[in-house]
A and B are shown apart, each in its own frame.
Chain A
């Protein structure tokens, strides 16, 4: 039988939707690994990115270090960290945070950086403090790019979170590795299809959220 059809059969099999190894459980694990990693990464990267964009200081360092971080092979990092901390969720989670930070950091500082100087100058001239300029002018104007960074980071993490299963954690990667190791290629392909489906669904949700939360004025401007 065609491998793709067999993979669909595998996904549609009701037996694969029940129990602790069922698709809903694995998908939920996969989702929360993704959200947790992107959430932690955002908590670290957005303040740093805003500070760099606002002050204009440390830009070279940010560009250099984020470019370098993008080159880190995630499986290698997971293995290295797991050899230090043991198997479980800690090592893959840290690796996913490291994976997500560059996109989010780049989005934050580039967003603030791209606000035209005469806009911030006008805000300052109106008597706003530095914090007010950042919070009321720069961040709203930078929102599309900040959110874009989060979207890119989420996409990378959701596609990479299969690696958590390499070191004893769950997620949709369980099916991938088991399929690979037992030459059960429909199962392996089913895992890939589920990850693709999840990535597309997340992307759709985040794109919709972007439309809702970005101020209309900014939206109009960015569409021009």
Chain B
């Protein structure tokens, strides 16, 4: 049911964006005034988010930090995938959206050779189209990670991905089907760590079905996003990645050229405080306490003294 509701919201958001894509986004078109209560004057900043609850929380943190600094904010959350929202940023319909450094880089430069967090951010500066830039990245990262159960880790003495090479049972990785084609997929695991795996595609992006499959032993390794609170809740062990096989995914504000240095300073202030532990904690409040993103965001901002 949640999926259906999200789809509806996305459909509505997409329609709203499609409606304002053709006209001046900061003008007075109806679709934005409906959500901002008529605050669409020249000073409004439009903050968007992906169709991912954790991304919406970060977007809400940005939005409230900007409001505390005196800006009017128009929220356009839960906008599908990059194919949908990046053109909106390029056209200026959205000004700010929380992004993940590695995936954003791969979107614009699929052949990138950058591997470390700093290389990725540097390469982003080159790869982004005219009119878009990223601000300072947070230390917080939300990236694919290889997880095993605590029992499995203990049985085989697993700490890093390379230790999997010593495991005598067939390794089955539960992951979205795109994992098979990614550089950190079976080919990368074999090449970099000498680990041979087969993939069981489970299409919920490391969600409850993947977690269940790992608990059941249907798979013995699961690809779960590193900021997902289920890793801690279930006592899973995240295998270290010393060779930086998985592309780093630092949280970074992607902004249009309408964002001036004053706005950038506010967002950089947020990024300076945001750690992966913070992100996991905020995600956990969303998942387990079912709190809305605005409550989670304002609590975090207050805790860090940013508002």
Stretch from B14-22, B138-146, B171-179, B265-273 at the A interface: B171-179
Stretch from B113-121, B158-166, B204-212 at the A interface: B204-212
Knowing A87-B218, A178-B181, A182-B181 touch, does A76 contact B212 (C-beta < 8 A)?
A: no
Chain B nearest CB from A122 CB (Å) reads: 51
**Residues of chain A within 8 A of B176, CB atoms compared:** 177, 181
Chain B nearest CB from A107 CB (Å) reads: 28
> Contact at B212–A83, with CB atoms within 8 Å?
yes
Chain A nearest CB from B101 CB (Å) reads: 19
The answer for the CA separation of A165 and B202 in the assembled complex, in Å, is 7
> Contact at A177–B209, with CB atoms within 8 Å?
no
Please tell me which one of the listed residues B201, B203, B218 contacts residue A86 in the complex, with CB atoms under 8 A apart.
Answer: B218
**Residues of chain B within 8 A of A73, CB atoms compared:** 1, 4
Please tell me which one of the listed residues B178, B180, B204 contacts residue A166 in the complex, with CB atoms under 8 A apart.
Answer: B204
Chain B nearest CB from A19 CB (Å) reads: 13
Please tell me which one of the listed residues A83, A168, A183 contacts residue B174 in the complex, with CB atoms under 8 A apart.
Answer: A168
Please tell me which one of the listed residues B3, B83, B200, B212 contacts residue A82 in the complex, with CB atoms under 8 A apart.
Answer: B212
The answer for the CA separation of A166 and B204 in the assembled complex, in Å, is 7
**Residues of chain B within 8 A of A181, CB atoms compared:** 176-178, 203
Knowing A86-B213, A174-B177, A178-B180 touch, does A166 contact B203 (C-beta < 8 A)?
A: yes
Knowing A86-B216, A168-B174, A178-B177 touch, does A75 contact B201 (C-beta < 8 A)?
A: no
In the complex, which of the residues A82, A88, A167, A177 has the most CB atoms of chain B within 10 Å of its own CB atom? Answer: A167
**Residues of chain A within 8 A of B216, CB atoms compared:** 86-87
> Contact at B4–A76, with CB atoms within 8 Å?
yes
For the residues of B in contact with A, the DSSP-based class is: helix
> Contact at B178–A168, with CB atoms within 8 Å?
no
**Residues of chain B within 8 A of A75, CB atoms compared:** 3
The answer for the CA separation of A190 and B3 in the assembled complex, in Å, is 25
Chain A nearest CB from B96 CB (Å) reads: 24
Knowing A83-B209, A167-B209 touch, does A183 contact B83 (C-beta < 8 A)?
A: yes
> Contact at B3–A76, with CB atoms within 8 Å?
yes
The answer for the CA separation of A168 and B177 in the assembled complex, in Å, is 9
> Contact at B3–A87, with CB atoms within 8 Å?
no
**Residues of chain B within 8 A of A88, CB atoms compared:** 218
Would you give 19 A-B contacts (Cβ < 8 Å), ordered by A? A73-B4, A76-B1, A79-B3, A79-B204, A79-B208, A86-B212, A86-B213, A87-B200, A87-B213, A87-B216, A88-B218, A165-B201, A165-B203, A166-B203, A167-B202, A178-B178, A181-B176, A182-B177, A183-B83
Instruction: Give residues in A with beta carbon < 8 Å to B.
Output: 73, 75-76, 79, 82-83, 86-88, 165-168, 174, 177-178, 181-183
Instruction: Give residues in B with beta carbon < 8 Å to A.
Output: 1, 3-4, 83, 174, 176-178, 180-181, 200-204, 208-209, 212-213, 216, 218
Closest 6 CB pairs of A and B: A181-B178, A178-B177, A86-B216, A182-B178, A166-B203, A168-B200
